[in-house]
Amino acid sequence: MRGFAQRVTVEHAIAWIDSVLAEFRSLPTVELPLREAAGRVLADDVVSPLNVPRFARSMMDGFAVRSEETYGATSYNPLALRIIGTCLPGTPFPTTVNSGEAVRIMTGAPLPQGADAVVPVEQTELSGDDVRVLGEVSAGKHVGQVGEDLRSGETVLASGRVLRPQDLGVLSSIGVGRVTVIRSPRVRIVITGNELLAAGTVPTGFQIADANGPMLESLVSRDGGEVMVSDIVPDDSESIRSALLAPADLVLISGSSSVGQEDHAARLLAESGELAIHGVAMRPSSPAGMGRLPGRLVFLLPGNPVSCLCAYDFFAGRAIRALAGRSTEWPYRQIQVPLARKLVSTVGRVDYARVKLDAGLAEPIAISGASILSSTTRADGFVIIPADSEGSPPGALVDVFLY
Contacts of 16 (CB under 8 A, 6+ apart): 276, 277, 290
Q: Name residue 355's beta-bridge partners.
A: 364, 381
Lowest mean pLDDT across 60-69, 159-168, 207-216: 207-216
Distance CA 306, CA 54 (A): 54
Per DSSP, 49 falls in state S
- Considering only CA atoms, which of 300, 233, 228, 400 is closest in space to residue 13? 300
SS3 144: strand
Supply the DSSP symbol for 175: T
Position with higher pLDDT, 255 vs 60: 60
pLDDT at residue 83 in the model: 97
Mean pLDDT of 99-120: 97
Please indicate whether residue 187 or residue 367 has the higher confidence score (pLDDT): 187
pLDDT at 3: 55
* pLDDT at residue 80 greater than cutoff 70: yes
- Pairing mode of beta strands 350-358, 282-283: parallel
What's the rounded Cα separation, in Å, for the pair 157 and 379?
Answer: 37
User: Which of 242, 234, 301 is CA-nearest to residue 272?
Assistant: 242
Q: Which helix (H) or strand (E) holds 154?
A: none
Cβ 117 vs Cβ 142: under 8 Å: yes
What are 338-395's pLDDT values in tens digits? Answer: 999 999 888 999 999 999 999 999 999 865 566 677 788 889 999 999 999 999 999 9
So what's the pLDDT on residue 6? 79
Q: 3-class DSSP state for residue 86? A: strand
Q: Which domains does the chain have, with CATH numbers?
A: 10-28+184-323 (3.40.980.10), 31-52+148-182 (3.90.105.10), 57-144 (2.170.190.11), 334-402 (2.40.340.10)
Weakest mean pLDDT among 23-27, 83-87, 241-245, 260-264 = 260-264
pLDDT at 1: 42
Largest CA distance in the chain: 96
Amino acid letter for position 145: Q
Burial class (CB in 10 A: 0-12, 13-18, 19+), 177: exposed
Choice between 274 and 203, residue whose per-residue pLDDT is larger? 274
CB 295 within 8 A of CB 264: no
The DSSP code for 270 is: H
pLDDT surpasses 50 at 62: yes
pTM above 0.85, yes or no: no
Taken in order 30, 32, 34, 39, is the CA torsion positive or negative? negative
pLDDT of residue 277: 95
In b/e form, how buried is each residue of 106-141, taking b as 16+ CB within 10 angstroms? beebbbbebbbbbbbbebbeeeeebbebbebbeeeb
Position 338 scores a pLDDT of 97
What letter does residue 188 receive in the DSSP assignment? E
